[in-house]
Amino acid sequence: MQANLEVLEGLVRRLDISVPMNQFDTEVQSRLKRLARNVKMDGFRPGKAPLAAVARQHGPGVRQEVLGEALQARFGEAVQAHQLKIAGYPRFEPKTGQADATEMTFSASFEVYPEVKIGDLSDGKISRPVVNLSDADVVKTLDVLQKQRRTFETTDRAAAEGDLVKFDYQGTVDGTEFEGGKGEDFAAVIGEGRLLKDFEQNLTALKAGGSKGFDLTFPADYAAKELAGKQAHFEVQVKDVQGPVLPPVDAEFAKALGVEDGDVEKLKGEVKSNLEREAKRRVQAKLKDQVMELLLQKSTLDLPQSLVAMETERLMKMTEADMQSRGVQTVKLSADMFTGQAERRVRLGLILAEIVQAHKLVAQPEQIRTLIQEQAQSYEEPEQVVQWYYQSPERMQEIESLALEENVVAWVAGQAQVEDVTTSFEELMGRA
């Protein structure tokens, strides 16, 4: 077998591969004979069709199958001989003008993995949030949990923020009613953003039975384009005002949140543990984002376009599947929409793989176990979740990838300049 390697533009390489005709024909005949023993053909009993008839009907498919296997086998041998790292899949094309009838020659075009050069990371700056959770953070979280379980009771006072208000309304633009501008027994909680802010402000201070007329201007980016930027007049009649009633943080409240014995202190402990896990995840995510940006800035490599194309296709199919699962009408997506994201993901993947290999950043079994346990703590039966992970090689591979990412982040942080920044939990969560 002859396999000459050509270096083309960038990462593209080409191999010439020869398949001996005698070996090819022998294998084709052998498979046709085996096929003839059992094949069903019209006019013949199973296994009794003449070889010539089998060859006429099944020969092209068998020849294609044998040729494909032969090319893959010889391509694999050539790749090993030249010690190449193939990115993507090869494209085989027959060579024209072949004078030697004893063999078939094909060219295999493909890309190889690039050399990844990672520059000096010592001048890179990374901010690491340092969060000290306080009792006040636990209290704020309990407040949120109380609000999620609130009830409402009718009150005779004027409406205020947080109240559930039921009302009729009628709106006009230039004296003309518009679609969606009229409603009866409409209910909304003031301050939750379901209504335009100017509309909500005009509901406050109104009691049940009260009415009011007012003007407002729709925002320029209003969802209903025909109303965007236009001034409207509304007439509202308030029918009912209900004030919120928060459940007390007591044994019943604790039981409703999964603490079987109703121990409020135990509930607070669980809330704090959940906040600590979430804070750890957020800190790790912020570190990871900064590390990835630093690596992108400091690394140079050529991108294998075959890998970019494969990742683009994968992202496009994932998006289409997600749209279908949410009942969103499927639209024709363009590959161009995903190319930039695909290039970034491929680039980062190659950089991370280089660091993992160069510095032997192996995911340790105890590290993987810790990650799985952290994932499982969010569920009611953590041990069952742990078993669920260990029962699936695919899920274990996902956790191993997370562990390797953590190792890369830690390694880069050890090379760069890391500044610890005291941060409140609210700031970390983006709610400050």
How confident is the model over 365-393, as pLDDT tens digits? 999 999 999 889 888 788 999 999 999 99
- Reading the block at residue 284, the tokens are 């790790």
Q: Do 323 and 228 sit in the same domain of this protein?
A: no
| Token pair belonging to 158 | 């004027």
The mean per-residue pLDDT over the stretch 50-55 comes to 88
Here the tokens at position 241 are 């005002």
For residue 427, give the nearest of 147, 138, 192, 131 by alpha carbon: 131
Residues 6+ apart with CB under 8 A from 36: 47, 49, 50, 51, 54
Residue 126: strand, helix, or coil: strand
Complete DSSP assignment for 343-376: HHHHHHHHHHHHHHHHTT-PPPHHHHHHHHHHHH
Report the DSSP beta bridge partners of residue 3.
17
Q: How many domains does the chain have?
A: 3
Average pLDDT over residues 294-314: 96
The pLDDT assigned to 101 comes to 76
Runs of H (alpha helix) within 299-335: 305-325
Nearest to 162 by CA among 188, 131, 135: 188
d(CA 148, CA 218): 30
Confidence of residue 431 (pLDDT cuts 50, 70, 90): confident
pLDDT score recorded for residue 98 = 63
- Inter-residue contact 294 to 122 (CB < 8 Å): no
**Strand, helix or coil at 143?**
helix
Question: Within a domain: residue 210?
Answer: yes
Closest to 11 in 3D by CA, of 235, 222, 218, 307: 307
- Indicate whether 136 belongs to any domain: no
**Residue 298 and residue 240 in one domain:** no
Each residue of 251-302: pLDDT tens digit? 999 999 989 999 999 999 999 999 999 999 999 999 999 999 999 999 999 9
CATH assignment of the domain containing 175: 3.10.50.40
Domain match, 300 and 398 both: yes
User: Domain of 8?
Assistant: 3-112
Which of 228, 245, 262 is the last residue in one of the domains?
A: 245
The structure tokens listed for 149 are 């379980």
Are both 67 and 194 inside the same structural domain?
no
For residue 347, what is the domain's CATH number? 1.10.3120.10
Which residues, listed in sequence order, are joined to residue 166 by a DSSP beta bridge?
A: 187, 240
Tell whether 285 and 239 lie within a shared domain: no
Look at residues 146, 56, 148, 72 and name the one whose alpha carbon lies nearest to residue 110.
Answer: 72
Which of the given ranges, 52-61, 306-315, 324-333, has the highest pLDDT on average?
306-315
Please choose, from the candidates 267, 253, 251, 269, the residue with its C-alpha nearest in 3D space to the C-alpha of residue 150.
Answer: 253
Question: Does 250 reside within a domain?
Answer: no
Whether residue 169 lies inside any domain: the answer is: yes
Handedness of CA 254, 260, 262, 264 (dihedral sign): negative
Q: Are residues 219 and 355 in the same domain?
A: no
Q: Which residue has the tokens 């007049």?
A: 233
- In DSSP terms, 300 is beta-bridged to 117
Contacts of 41 (CB under 8 A, 6+ apart): 49, 53, 54, 57
DSSP summary character for residue 95: P
Do 423 and 289 belong to one domain?
yes
Rounded CA gap, 262 and 304, in Å? 58
Task: For residue 1, name the pLDDT band (cuts at 50, 70, 90).
Answer: very low
- β-pairing, 125-130 vs 417-422, is parallel
* pLDDT at residue 2 greater than cutoff 60: no
Q: Which range is least confidently modeled, 29-38, 41-50, 112-121, 143-152?
A: 41-50
Q: Residue 117: which residues within 8 A CB-CB, separation 6 or more?
A: 299, 300, 301
Q: What is the pLDDT of residue 99?
A: 61
Q: Are 35 and 49 in contact (CB under 8 A)?
A: no
Helix (H) or strand (E) holding 167: strand 164-173
